[in-house]
Amino acid sequence: MTGSEKRLVGFLLFEGFELLDVFGPAEIFGMLDRKFEVHIVGEALGAVSSAQGPQAVVSKRLIDCSDLDILLVPGGDGTRIVVENEAVLSWLASSADKFEYITSVCAGSAVLAKAGLLDGRWATSNKMAFEWVESQGPNVNWVKKARWVEDGNLWASAGVSAGIDMSLALVKHLHGEKLADLAAKGAEYDWHRDADWDPFSELYEYTRN
């Protein structure tokens, strides 16, 4: 892409997705609409129910997503079903090379792991569900104490609100700290800038590998 083009950011929806995993990062990228264009993507067009109940609407099918630059896979109770969805896993595996960045929030890393995208890579996840997520990717280098983890073009965050910190860090990585600061202030969000900051790992008695 050229410097004048927007990066297209796709948020993968499935039944039982976690609301803030999607709409926290979507707020960050969406308010920077000169640099990013947000899309809600999924297997089929239409409404998809979140783990909390409210629905969101898929406006772009996976088969039409070859133009995305950034993909974000959220967590939520629905990940336990998606890790058995061969259509979604196959799409992820076959499409991975097309994306500039692939990111996950919370247990979304379990989906990436099950698709084989994290084998031999570093990643993290929600600490409450960490053991289950680990089981989906035995060949992944799981980091038990991290707010988010960057491994090349694969970025994974811990639970729920950590996705906002990761998204701001990605904005900083792509466009500089000034723009990331602008987004954080616009959202009145207290941005945790240290990827190693993770009080929740201690709460669940995890330590860094």
Contact criterion met (CB below 8 Å) for 37 and 1: no
Catalytic residue IDs:
106
Q: How far apart are CA 64 and CA 77, in angstroms?
A: 26
SS (H, E, C) the chain: CCCCCCEEEEEECCCCECHHHHHHHHHHHHHCCCCEEEEEEECCCEEEEECCCCEEEECEEHHHCCCCCEEEECCCCCHHHHCCCHHHHHHHHHHHHHCCEEEECCCHHHHHHHCCCCCCCEECCCCCCHHHHHHCCCCCEECCCCCEEEECCEEEECCCCHHHHHHHHHHHHHHCHHHHHHHHHHCCCCCCCCCCCCHHHHHCCCCCC
Q: How far is CA 179 from the centre of its chain?
A: 20
Name residue 127's amino acid.
K
